[in-house]
Structure 1
Amino acid sequence: MASSSTSVSSPPMPPANADLQTTWAYLEEGVDHIMTKLQTGVSYSKYMSLYTVSYNYCTSSKMHSASEGMSLGQRTGANLMGSDLYNNLIKYFMQHLKTLREGAEGLQDEALLKYYATEWDRYTTGANYINRLFTYLNRHWVKRERDEGRKSVYPVYTLALVQWKTNFFMPIQSKQQKLAGAVLRLIERQRNGETIDQGLVKKVVDSFVSLGLDESDINKVSYEIYKEHFEQPFLEATEKYYRKESETFLAENNVQDYLKKAEERLREEEDRVERYLNTNTRKGLVSKCEHVLIREHSERMWESFQNLLDFDKDEDLQRMYSLLSRITEGLEPLRKKFEEHVKRAGLAAVSKLVSEGGSGEGSTEVDPKAYVDAMLEVHHKNSETVSRSFRGEAGFVASLDKACRDFVNRNAATGNSTTKSPELLAKHADVLLRKSNKVAEEEDLEGALNKVMILFKYIEDKDVFQTFYTTKLSKRLIHGVSASDEAEASMISKLKEACGFEYTNKLQRMFTDMSLSKDLTDQFKERMQQNHDDMDINFSIMVLGTNFWPLNPPAHEFIIPADILPVYERFTKYYQQKHSGRKLTWLWNYSKNELRTSYLNQKYIFMTSAYQMAVLTQYNQNDTLSLEELMTATSISKEILTQVLASLVKAKVLISDDKEQYDLNPNFKSKKIRINLNTPLKAEQKTEATDVLKTVDEDRKYALQATIVRIMKARKTMKNQQLIQEVIAQIAQRFQPKIPDIKKAIDHLLEKEYIERVEGTRETYAYLA
């Protein structure tokens, strides 16, 4: 009976002891089916039959091994059987791959890649199945061969890959890099904006990696094939492509646009690695792109940096930073330019302030608040740039700090003086910390003090700031005009954190004295009440330690007014009984008083200085007095007295036509009940800055001497130059010492025999215990 369909029957399964020809005929048919028609499937029973035949053949020799003995030296029949199967597999792979190679003839580019990828998939899948069919061969014969040093024998799957490399990959690839060239052209098309089959590229590229076999260790991946046949030509093509593109782009566009382009290209290449390249290529690819896209055009970027800064091009600055940070030394020119930019901005801000104020170079008339605000604005703006555009990178922070240190200490307002900035900063802090300050109302006082500390960090002569600050604090405390104890404590805490305990020791002792003085006044008043002494004057006395308060005693005699003399005498006696051996120096020049009027219909309270009080109490017995009479009655010097009288005439409490005779004004009127007559005298204001700088000079002499002694005590002997350098290093936190001053201090200590010159040397000193 004729059949409409034909079928080809498989050969029957050979018996367990079948010869090689019969066995291989059966196995080859199955292997070929798996390698070429796997998509049609292989039944489980068929697969198990193939496995069994392979197993039987490899083990059949054991039946004869006893009688045949050890033929070929130590090689048994099992060895030979394994070898036969292995060699037949090689022949099969070679023939199969020859057929595949013929199928690739004439194919180009994407068509070739598609054919290669399809066959690679089919081949490796089939080889996996076949590898499992010959598990026994792998486990015994192949393992024994490799253990005995025959490294050219591989497990079946690896053998399949070796054969693919030799008989398919290399013949195609060797024709003008045909395979890799096709991949590179596809990648170039993608770089040009076309959409490509990335999965296809990945498959081909992955096969290059799989073919890299380490003969000595088959479990280890070698990247030699991938590197030689793909990675190297890929990197060369990348370099060529981007060099041409970047040069063309920059010829037609500005640097800002180029930054975007370069950033985009780098991102694309990173993405390329993620999508279809081996991760080992990342480093070389990124390095190549950075060289061509950034390094080769870095000078153009550096040149355009200033323009981006001038016009606050934040996004472009971020891009430039991000790109140049990828290459060695790419940021250094930017840091230098940024430093100069900040310095110029700071100097310009102060120059503008000086010219607007109509003050000359180095003028002392600059308003402290305006001065501080101008510099803070420059710092704030550029600090924002560092954070936002340069990601707070340490090098840019250092450039900002160096530039700020330069313009904060030396600018149009300071002239050649390094003491002007600390003085103005201390004055600004003084205004902030006073009750009359508007900042406390308008904004956060704590925030304003933090801003003071920003500039304080850059001040070189911190000892000058310290002395001015101490002087101003003493006046705030004595006159009771501090905004709050909390604010004062907060500022001292900030200074302590910045410069250490020693820097703020005096400041903290001043607060202790204030507290002790209050207790002392209360105890004195209590004693007076117990003794039933007549106390018709309300008062408080501050007893302040000479070592901690920058206060100058009055430079002239002063007759204590009769009205307060009894209290003065009682307190002096009380204090000397309580603290025998201590001497009180009364600082009338800092005293404040309140006088109540009784000669007018309206009662007023005059707030006065001690000198104004001394003058006005003379009018309790007189309505008119001459300058000479007042000088005699008060013992105040003519220079000070004329200023005191001028302030009272200006306030219309006294009347004078000729500055020789002064009358009490019987028609004095004011809208206020409490009237402050106590304005600072010009003579006092003038001497403050001079006195502070004099104190600073004296303190510096002692500081230098103490530092030299401390160093020499620790080191015992030291050369002159080393000693000078060590002194500068240790004292630079407080001020910038001048070398001639250090030399003077050394000479002084030589005279005082704290140190001596080592005999036989000119430049070496020794410490004298």
Structure 2
Amino acid sequence: MASSAPSTSATRLPPAHDLGATWSFLEPGIELMMTRLTEGMTYQRYMELYTVAYNHCTSSRMASPASNSDLGGLGAGGSSKSGANLVGADLYNCLIRYFQTHLAGVRKGADSLTDEPLLKYYASEWDRYTTGANFVHRLFAYLNRHWVKREKDEGRKHVYTVYTLALVQWKEHMFKHVQTKGRLVNALLKQIEKQRNGEVIETSLVKKVVDSLVSLGLDEVDTNRQNLEVYRSEFEKPFLEATELYYTNESDAFVSQNSATDYMKKAESRLKEEEDRVELYLHASTRTKLIPCCDTVLVRRHASMLWDEFQTLLDLDKAEDLYRTYTLLSRIVEGLEPLRTKFEAHVKRVGLAAVEKVAGANADGLEPGAYVNALLEVYRNNYNTVMASFRGEAGFLASLDKACRDFVNRNKATGTSTSKSPELLAKHTDALLKKSNKTSEESSLEDALNDVMTVFRYIEDKDVFQKFYSKMLAKRLVNFASSSDDAEANMISRLKEACGYEYTSKLQRMFTDMGLSKELNDNFKESMAKTHDKSELDIDFYALVLANGFWPLQAPQSDFSIPTELLPTYQRFERYYAAKHSGRKLTWLWQLSKNELKTNYLAQKLQFQTSTYQSAILLQYNTNDSLTLEELMSATGLNEQTIKPALAVMVKAKVLVLEGGDSYEINEDFKSKKMRVNLNLPVKAEQKAESTDVMKTVDEDRKLLLQATIVRIMKSRKTLKHSQLIQEVVSQVSARFQPKVPDIKKAIDQLIDKEYLERVDGQKDMYSYLA
């Protein structure tokens, strides 16, 4: 390594080993950099200074005792070190003494200053000092790279690069002086309080002073790593304390004079200001302490007031204020749970009131569409509230679901029965899917079915819905009353997605039978056309052949004598089917059959739409004008329970006239404004009996399902405690209905009797599976 750098000037440079001469040469240049940098320095002058510093640091001679004693060592390097080390240490000590002397003058200028003038003076001097120190740091680059590095490598503490040394000296001899009794930080806090009070302050000034405190944090072990100790202890701690005190006083005063909604707006504004304050002039790490501090003071301290106000906002549907309540209380851990509880109770209360309004005094006569629409309106309104005001938060959605499940299954219309809601929903769905539905356009029907599935999701007894829906679907298909096959398939697909294949397997089989029946009837007509004269086939005939076990249909409740007019067609189809499917037996469901009869006895040529039983009755009047009940029963084979409702409809329509309480006469003066007169009308008594039959079927199916579920669980587990078995059964069956524990216990006892299970000896609450 060269012992000296070449000089580019005619100026006489001091001897490299002479510390006194060297420092006398360097000090004016350092003073210029530190105090009068705006005057500028020529490149030639800077290179002379750099060369002198370089020459001295690379000098291998020992400095003279006189030089050392004149300047005084400050302990940065030991006297036992080599010449190069000693020379580096003395020059380092000279820099220390210079910075201390310089700062003694700087801090005098701050002695009489307070508040904003102090901040301005401090910031201005900090800028001048750090800029100059940066140039001085580069001037002593060789000292930094070699002597300082070697000292640090040997573990000597409190030895720094020149710029860091300058910061250390500022901290000790300037900052600590102006921070006596918190003078500097108090000035900062006053500026921040002014800003909070709405006054305009010089934020760049605050930022510059705060940044200086960050810069003064020096890690003793690794000076290249920032340490926030000064910032946190001197500024952040008192800043947070001042913040807490400020907002405690302000919020208490505001709450005492303003409404809760006004307070929420104020708190929201203040929290936004503090977020911005971090960006404006605080260190980013302060955010994690400042925001929780503000949350505690502005939200947690007034949480009770916000919780109390929540119900009023719900009742008035104040979406914006509800959102504000949600966002504020979501900032604290315990903030939202009371809101969720209140929201759940609110939805339930509104739901019950809505049902009570549409149910009126007579819940039995409730129109299914009105009932379902009342449920949907409550759901939609509160779902929109959750999405708009609570941002779809999972806890509020869960509260909504719980409340809906409650009031959908238990309300004034349902009474104590959980089967009423699924029945009404099934009837509403039936009305939607019938041809008579006025809103059967594709888009509106799609929306209506979406709504059905929304309510269906909350139905607990889904098996009850399935039974009613299955029965109604069967009627729609048998009577060709569906609005469209696509709509029916769409609904079945939705139910399958919600409850699985098993839930809809029978429904899908019904559609298969309808297709097979069409093919069968087409082939029958072709066959009859080939083998019979046209005059023999004067009756239009269509038979649905439905697989037993898949359709929720019952056998006739009465014997029936087929009218002679219908008998030939009946016999032809029986023979055709027997020839095509040997071994199969047809069971004719006359109670579901229907006919059209043309009248010849009236002045008008009318068509009566009748049930087959009604047709059999009316056909008797081809040869009689008046018949008694006994005569009609004898001629048709129908029992009294079946024939009386059929006759009642025709008497009410005035097609027949009841004379003397027992004699039915044909009304030859019957008139109608319509060419087609529908006599095949449902009887309310039959509908009630049908609902009862459905529930009996549901009860039987539930018993079997409980037993099957218990056997399936025990087969896989072999042995199980009573309580665990109950829990698993409830878990597996609850997708179909909510089982009662006594019913599960009864099913267990029945399986023990059937020897599927047994109680383990010595353990009353343990069951074992018998293979």
Backbone CA RMSD of aligned residues: 1.8
Match of 2:770 in 1: 768
Cα deviations across residues 700-735 of structure 1 (Å, max 9, x unaligned)?
A: 001000100110011011111110111001100100
CA contact (8 A) 2:707 2:748 kept: yes
How far apart in 1 are the matches of 2:12 and 2:402? 89
How far apart in 2 are the matches of 1:13 and 1:620? 148
Cα deviations across residues 131-178 of structure 1 (Å, max 9, x unaligned)?
A: 1111111011111110000121000110000000001001211x2101
How far apart in 1 are the matches of 2:33 and 2:349? 79
Match of 2:600 in 1: 598
1:277 and 2:279 correspond? no
After TM superposition, the structure 1 = structure 2 runs for residues 510-529 of structure 1, keeping only pairs within 5 Å, are: 510-529=510-529
CA contact (8 A) 2:15 2:22 kept: no
CA contact (8 A) 2:460 2:738 kept: yes
How has the CA–CA distance of structure 1 residues 377 and 678 changed in structure 2, closer, same or farther, with 3 Å as cutoff?
Answer: same
Match of 1:374 in 2: 374
How far apart in 1 are the matches of 2:529 and 2:580? 17
CA contact (8 A) 2:706 2:747 kept: yes
Instruction: Point out the more displaced range, 36-45 or 241-250.
Output: 36-45
SS in 1 for 2:537: coil
How far apart in 2 are the matches of 1:194 and 1:686? 78
Match of 1:652 in 2: 654
Match of 1:427 in 2: 427
How much does 1:46 deviate? 1.3
How much does 1:536 deviate? 2.1
Match of 1:51 in 2: 50
Match of 1:116 in 2: 122
SS in 2 for 1:444: helix
CA contact (8 A) 2:759 2:765 kept: yes
Within the candidate set 208, 211, 234, 1:206 is matched to 211
After TM superposition, the structure 1 = structure 2 runs for residues 646-725 of structure 1, keeping only pairs within 5 Å, are: 646-725=648-727
How much does 1:354 deviate? 2.4
How many residues align? The count is: 748
How far apart in 2 are the matches of 1:211 and 1:11? 41
- What one-letter code is carried by the residue in structure 2 that aligns with 1:445? L
Cα deviations across residues 181-217 of structure 1 (Å, max 9, x unaligned)?
A: 1000110111111000000000000000000000111
How has the CA–CA distance of structure 1 residues 572 and 73 changed in structure 2, closer, same or farther, with 3 Å as cutoff?
Answer: farther
After TM superposition, the structure 1 = structure 2 runs for residues 313-352 of structure 1, keeping only pairs within 5 Å, are: 313-352=318-357
SS in 2 for 1:30: helix
1:727 and 2:733 correspond? no
How far apart in 2 are the matches of 1:751 and 1:705? 12
Match of 2:587 in 1: 585
SS in 2 for 1:595: strand
How far apart in 1 are the matches of 2:759 and 2:455? 42
SS in 2 for 1:759: coil
**Deviation above 6 Å: which 4+ runs of structure 1?**
71-74
Match of 2:30 in 1: 31
Instruction: Point out the more displaced range, 394-403 or 637-646.
Output: 637-646
Match of 2:101 in 1: 95
SS in 2 for 1:194: coil
How far apart in 1 are the matches of 2:55 and 2:765? 98
Cα deviations across residues 516-551 of structure 1 (Å, max 9, x unaligned)?
A: 111111122222223336322211111112211111
TM-score normalised by length of structure 2:
0.95
How far apart in 2 are the matches of 1:15 and 1:96? 24
SS in 2 for 1:453: helix
- What one-letter code is carried by the residue in structure 1 that aligns with 2:184? L
SS in 2 for 1:208: helix
CA contact (8 A) 2:760 2:766 kept: yes
How far apart in 1 are the matches of 2:320 and 2:61? 79
CA contact (8 A) 1:55 1:134 kept: yes
CA contact (8 A) 1:594 1:607 kept: yes
Match of 2:165 in 1: 159
CA contact (8 A) 1:463 1:696 kept: yes
How much does 1:219 deviate? 1.2
Match of 2:484 in 1: 484
CA contact (8 A) 1:627 1:659 kept: no
Match of 1:640 in 2: 642
SS in 2 for 1:391: coil
How far apart in 2 are the matches of 1:606 and 1:664? 14
Instruction: Point out the more displaced range, 140-149 or 652-661.
Output: 652-661
How much does 1:767 deviate? 1.1
How far apart in 1 are the matches of 2:369 and 2:759? 50
After TM superposition, the structure 1 = structure 2 runs for residues 466-505 of structure 1, keeping only pairs within 5 Å, are: 466-505=466-505
CA contact (8 A) 1:172 1:179 kept: yes
How far apart in 2 are the matches of 1:215 and 1:197? 34
Structure 1: where are the runs of 5+ without partners? 1-9, 65-70
How far apart in 1 are the matches of 2:420 and 2:667? 44
How far apart in 1 are the matches of 2:94 and 2:544? 113
SS in 2 for 1:556: coil
How has the CA–CA distance of structure 1 residues 544 and 18 changed in structure 2, closer, same or farther, with 3 Å as cutoff?
Answer: same
CA contact (8 A) 2:628 2:664 kept: yes
- What one-letter code is carried by the residue in structure 1 that aligns with 2:759? R
TM-score normalised by length of structure 1:
0.95
How has the CA–CA distance of structure 1 residues 531 and 242 changed in structure 2, closer, same or farther, with 3 Å as cutoff?
Answer: same
How far apart in 1 are the matches of 2:92 and 2:271? 49
How has the CA–CA distance of structure 1 residues 735 and 532 changed in structure 2, closer, same or farther, with 3 Å as cutoff?
Answer: same
Within the candidate set 265, 272, 288, 2:293 is matched to 288
Match of 2:227 in 1: 222
Match of 2:557 in 1: 555
How far apart in 2 are the matches of 1:17 and 1:97? 28
Cα deviations across residues 632-655 of structure 1 (Å, max 9, x unaligned)?
A: 100112232222122222223223
Within the candidate set 250, 255, 258, 2:260 is matched to 255
CA contact (8 A) 1:13 1:26 kept: no
How far apart in 2 are the matches of 1:661 and 1:72? 138
Match of 2:153 in 1: 147
Cα deviations across residues 632-689 of structure 1 (Å, max 9, x unaligned)?
A: 1001122322221222222232233334222223333323222211111334212110
Match of 1:444 in 2: 444
How far apart in 1 are the matches of 2:160 and 2:639? 115
Instruction: Point out the more displaced range, 441-450 or 408-417.
Output: 441-450
CA contact (8 A) 2:17 2:62 kept: no
Cα deviations across residues 722-764 of structure 1 (Å, max 9, x unaligned)?
A: 1011100110010000111111111111111111112222121
Structure 2: where are the runs of 5+ without partners? 1-8, 64-76
- What one-letter code is carried by the residue in structure 2 that aligns with 1:768? L
Match of 1:239 in 2: 244
How much does 1:579 deviate? 2.6
Match of 2:66 in 1: none
How much does 1:18 deviate? 5.1
Within the candidate set 552, 576, 579, 2:578 is matched to 576
Instruction: Point out the more displaced range, 654-663 or 719-728.
Output: 654-663
- What one-letter code is carried by the residue in structure 1 that aligns with 2:228? Y
Cα deviations across residues 291-320 of structure 1 (Å, max 9, x unaligned)?
A: 000011111111111111111111111111
CA contact (8 A) 2:17 2:61 kept: no
CA contact (8 A) 2:16 2:52 kept: no
How far apart in 2 are the matches of 1:609 and 1:13? 132
- What one-letter code is carried by the residue in structure 2 that aligns with 1:642? K
1:389 and 2:394 correspond? no
CA contact (8 A) 1:346 1:407 kept: yes
Instruction: Point out the more displaced range, 541-550 or 732-741.
Output: 541-550
Instruction: Point out the more displaced range, 324-333 or 482-491.
Output: 482-491
1:610 and 2:623 correspond? no
CA contact (8 A) 1:589 1:611 kept: yes
CA contact (8 A) 2:347 2:378 kept: yes
How much does 1:73 deviate? 9.5
CA contact (8 A) 2:759 2:767 kept: yes
CA contact (8 A) 2:14 2:25 kept: no
CA contact (8 A) 1:16 1:60 kept: no
Within the candidate set 542, 567, 578, 1:565 is matched to 567
